[in-house]
């Protein structure tokens, strides 16, 4: 009668420990083949799908079919930008989706939006040490009936099938020349005697995959609130009177800056002698963003839960007015940046600055919503994280190098008659995807030896960067290859740009 519960317990331990271990080994090997030994490309997307399938299997093992479907679809959708090309924004979005899917599969993700950021932080802190913790636990339990004993028994049980599998594979390779040719592409020596950096990569991958398949959260420590006389001093420093006076002064100061922007920036009034709109724009773009960030910090402190600002209509009205002025200043900063770019061309740093300004403006609007809806700070962090994720997901689809090159060609002095001359050295730094923009430039102004030299070098770079096999394929690289192989983008530099 006691055998059945014992066997059920062992099967449960097997599903909780051996399955993640075997899946981790397979996924590390797959990552080595798809990522570590190939140029960045389609292999990243395939590996993300493999991780998604592993998490789906983990959810199904817990009898959560709906969760498994949702997690799988979420990760696949997040991984789609990797088909365009692997990028840091795309990898961030995929990593975040995998973490959320892992927590979903383990029933650790809270339903309340405001609690999700704290759970993600608790998960991320513990994730790098999860594999080491389980390994130590297994070593300590080898003498009993815990995880160590189950792992040891299962490893012994796998020895016979793996040995016979190796024998059968050797026989099939000797009998089948097709399999032998495919196997010859792999170096067994690299697997048996890997380089130290590769061993480190395996260890990092194993730790990350194990944390996905066996997620845990860092324990929360209960804090006891102690009321001391310091609270009265803090209330005098940041109480109702201090907040009210600050908001009146801040609104007055910001009104001056807003009026100047409305006059010179939006109204187009002539600036003082010796100052251009580009100079006016350059002086104000970045300091205004710092101003908006400081304003956001002050508002969060002033409108803290149960603080004096939350119970005063006057303070709330002044906060709304001040945040509105900060949003207008963010929009003015974006316009300043646009004027500066028109005068001095576009760069990656200026694109990033524009995106950052938009995120700051969105964050200020979310602060307004947080105050109006009386939400928690966790809700504000979660919504800002969502805003950042959506922005990075969109950025992962954009070829900023090609976009910048197109813009600079259109607004160059040679093409538009205004602005700066086209910076060929900077276009070369952007990479081969600027070749169509260079062809457009040549079609407009005619052939130039310096442009032809830059284009020829970029074509050579593109040919050298072409993937050796399917693992390095990307949609962006394929579009460029098709363009270079077509009649409009051949290597002899046709003067006709693509449609």
Q: Are residues 428 and 365 in the same domain?
A: no
Per-residue pLDDT tens over the stretch 71-105: 999 999 999 999 999 999 999 999 999 999 999 98
Of the listed ranges 6-15, 27-36, 189-198, 294-303, the one predicted with least confidence: 6-15
Of the listed ranges 202-211, 223-232, 239-248, 316-325, the one predicted with least confidence: 223-232
Place of tokens 């002064």: 249
Residue at 472 is within a domain? yes
Residue at 219 is within a domain? no
Distances (CA, A) of 414 to 74, 272, 417: 47, 29, 6
The three state secondary structure string of 83-130 is HHCCCHHHHHHHHHHHHHHHHHHCCCCCCCHHHHHHHHHHHHHHHHHH
User: What pLDDT does 193 receive?
Assistant: 43
Q: Which of 25-29, 372-376, 400-404 has the highest mean pLDDT?
A: 400-404
Of the listed ranges 139-153, 241-255, 259-273, the one predicted with least confidence: 139-153
Stated length of the chain: 499
User: What pLDDT does 454 receive?
Assistant: 95
Q: Are residues 422 and 442 in the same domain?
A: yes
Q: Are residues 95 and 114 in the same domain?
A: yes
Q: Are residues 250 and 384 in the same domain?
A: yes
pLDDT at residue 130 tops 50: yes
What proportion of the chain, given as a percentage, has pLDDT over 90?
Answer: 33
Q: How confident is the model at residue 396 (pLDDT cuts 50, 70, 90)?
A: very high
Residue at 496 is within a domain? no
H-type helices in 238-376, by residue range? 240-260, 277-302, 313-344, 348-373
Q: How confident is the model at residue 34 (pLDDT cuts 50, 70, 90)?
A: very high
Q: Are residues 188 and 255 in the same domain?
A: no
Alpha carbon distance 283, 336 (integer Å) = 9
User: What pLDDT does 125 receive?
Assistant: 92
Residue at 445 is within a domain? yes
Question: Residue 228 corresponds to which tokens in the numbers above?
Answer: 């001391």
Count of other CB atoms within 10 angstroms of residue 236: 10
User: What pLDDT does 367 receive?
Assistant: 87
The domain boundary residue, chosen from 165, 181, 213: 213
User: What pLDDT does 378 receive?
Assistant: 87
**What domain range is 440 assigned to?**
401-485
The domain boundary residue, chosen from 372, 393, 414: 393
User: What pLDDT does 180 receive?
Assistant: 62
Q: How confident is the model at residue 272 (pLDDT cuts 50, 70, 90)?
A: low
Arithmetic mean of pLDDT, 273-292: 63
Q: Are residues 262 and 205 in the same domain?
A: no
Arithmetic mean of pLDDT, 240-261: 79
Residue at 150 is within a domain? yes
Are 14 and 151 a contacting pair, CB within 8 Å?
no
DSSP 398-457: --HHHHHHHHHHHTSHHHHSSSPPP-HHHHHHH-GGGHHHHHHHHHHH---HHHHHHHHH
User: What pLDDT does 423 receive?
Assistant: 92
Per-residue pLDDT tens over the stretch 451-481: 999 999 999 999 998 888 899 999 999 999 9
> Which comes out higher in pLDDT, residue 467 or 3?
467
Q: Are residues 275 and 419 in the same domain?
A: no
Residue at 67 is within a domain? yes
Count of other CB atoms within 10 angstroms of residue 125: 11
Q: What is the sign, positive or negative, of the torsion defined by CA atoms of 417, 419, 420, 424?
A: negative
Phi, psi of 113 (to 5 degrees): -60, -40
Q: How many domains does the chain have?
A: 3
Q: Are residues 202 and 63 in the same domain?
A: yes
Count of other CB atoms within 10 angstroms of residue 445: 14
Q: What is the mean pLDDT of the chain?
A: 79
Q: Which of 113-117, 142-146, 166-170, 266-270 has the highest mean pLDDT?
A: 113-117
Of the listed ranges 3-12, 97-106, 247-256, 403-412, the one predicted with least confidence: 3-12
Q: What is the sign, positive or negative, of the torsion defined by CA atoms of 380, 382, 384, 386?
A: negative
User: What pLDDT does 271 receive?
Assistant: 63
Alpha carbon distance 453, 430 (integer Å) = 15
Per-residue pLDDT tens over the stretch 44-74: 999 999 999 999 988 887 777 888 889 999 9
Residue closest to 142 by CA, chosen among 161, 156, 122, 158: 156
Q: Are residues 374 and 418 in the same domain?
A: no
The domain boundary residue, chosen from 167, 187, 213: 213
User: What pLDDT does 278 receive?
Assistant: 59
46-50-53 Cα angle (round to 5): 135
> Which comes out higher in pLDDT, residue 394 or 467?
394
Alpha carbon distance 142, 130 (integer Å) = 18
Question: Residue 169 corresponds to which tokens in the numbers above?
Answer: 């594979």
Alpha carbon distance 429, 434 (integer Å) = 10
> Which comes out higher in pLDDT, residue 20 or 35?
35
Alpha carbon distance 351, 335 (integer Å) = 13
DSSP 157-221: HHHHHHHHHHHHHHHHHHH-HHHHHHHHTS-HHHHHS--HHHHHHHHHHHHHHHHHHS---PPPP
Q: Are residues 111 and 41 in the same domain?
A: yes
> Which comes out higher in pLDDT, residue 354 or 273?
354
Residue at 109 is within a domain? yes
Residue at 254 is within a domain? yes
Q: Which of 134-138, 346-350, 439-443 has the highest mean pLDDT?
A: 439-443
pLDDT at residue 158 tops 70: no
Q: Are residues 207 and 131 in the same domain?
A: yes
Per-residue pLDDT tens over the stretch 160-218: 565 566 666 666 666 666 666 665 655 544 554 456 677 788 888 988 999 999 898 98
Alpha carbon distance 123, 115 (integer Å) = 13
Q: Are residues 387 and 435 in the same domain?
A: no
Alpha carbon distance 396, 91 (integer Å) = 9
pLDDT at residue 497 tops 50: no
Phi, psi of 242 (to 5 degrees): -65, -45
pLDDT at residue 495 tops 70: no
User: What pLDDT does 407 receive?
Assistant: 94
Residue closest to 315 by CA, chosen among 331, 301, 326: 301
Are 361 and 331 a contacting pair, CB within 8 Å?
yes
Residue closest to 315 by CA, chosen among 237, 233, 239: 239
Q: How confident is the model at residue 139 (pLDDT cuts 50, 70, 90)?
A: low
Q: How confident is the model at residue 499 (pLDDT cuts 50, 70, 90)?
A: very low
């Amino acid at each position: 009668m006691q055998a059945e519960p014992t066997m059920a317990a062992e099967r449960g331990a097997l599903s909780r420990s051996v399955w993640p271990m075997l899946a981790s080994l397979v996924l590390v090997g797959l990552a080595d083949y798809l990522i570590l030994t190939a140029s960045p490309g389609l292999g990243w997307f395939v590996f993300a799908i493999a991780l998604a399938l592993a998490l789906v299997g983990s959810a199904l093992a817990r009898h959560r079919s709906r969760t498994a479907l949702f997690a799988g679809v979420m990760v696949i959708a997040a991984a789609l930008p990797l088909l365009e090309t692997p990028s840091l924004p795309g990898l961030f979005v995929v990593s975040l989706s995998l973490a959320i899917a892992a927590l979903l599969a383990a029933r650790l993700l809270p339903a309340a939006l405001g609690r999700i950021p704290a759970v993600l932080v608790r998960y991320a802190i513990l994730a790098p040490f999860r594999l080491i913790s389980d390994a130590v636990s297994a070593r300590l339990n080898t003498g009993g009936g815990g995880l160590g004993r189950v792992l040891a028994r299962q490893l012994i049980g796998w020895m016979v099938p793996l040995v016979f599998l190796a024998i059968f594979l050797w026989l099939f390779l000797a009998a089948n020349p097709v399999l032998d040719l495919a196997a010859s592409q792999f170096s067994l020596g690299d697997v048996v005697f890997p380089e130290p950096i590769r061993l480190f990569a395996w260890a990092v991958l194993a730790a990350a995959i194990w944390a996905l398949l066996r997620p845990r959260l860092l324990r929360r420590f209960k804090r006891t609130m102690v009321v001391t006389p310091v609270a009265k001093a803090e209330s005098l420093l940041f109480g109702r009177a201090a907040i009210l006076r600050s908001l009146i002064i801040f609104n007055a100061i910001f009104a001056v800056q807003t009026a100047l922007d409305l006059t010179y920036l939006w109204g187009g009034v002539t600036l003082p002698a010796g100052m251009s709109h580009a100079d006016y724009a350059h002086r104000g773009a970045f300091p205004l963003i710092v101003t908006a960030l400081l304003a956001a910090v002050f508002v969060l402190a002033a409108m803290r839960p149960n603080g004096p600002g939350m119970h005063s209509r006057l303070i709330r009205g002044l906060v709304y007015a001040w945040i509105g002025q900060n949003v207008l200043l963010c929009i003015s900063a974006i316009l300043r940046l646009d004027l500066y770019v028109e005068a001095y061309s576009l760069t990656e740093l200026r694109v990033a600055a524009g995106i950052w300004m938009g995120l700051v403006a969105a964050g200020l609007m979310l602060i307004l919503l947080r105050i109006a809806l009386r939400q928690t700070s966790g809700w504000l962090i979660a919504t800002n994280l969502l805003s950042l994720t959506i922005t990075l997901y969109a950025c992962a689809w954009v070829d900023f190098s090609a976009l910048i090159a197109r813009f600079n060609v259109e607004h160059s002095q040679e093409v538009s008659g205004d602005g700066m001359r086209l910076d060929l050295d900077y276009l070369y730094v952007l990479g081969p995807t600027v070749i169509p923009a260079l062809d457009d430039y040549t079609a407009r102004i005619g052939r130039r030896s310096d442009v032809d030299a830059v284009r020829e070098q970029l074509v050579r770079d593109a040919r050298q960067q072409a993937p050796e096999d399917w693992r390095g394929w990307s949609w962006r690289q394929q579009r460029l290859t098709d363009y270079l192989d077509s009649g409009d983008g051949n290597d002899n530099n046709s003067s006709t740009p693509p449609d």
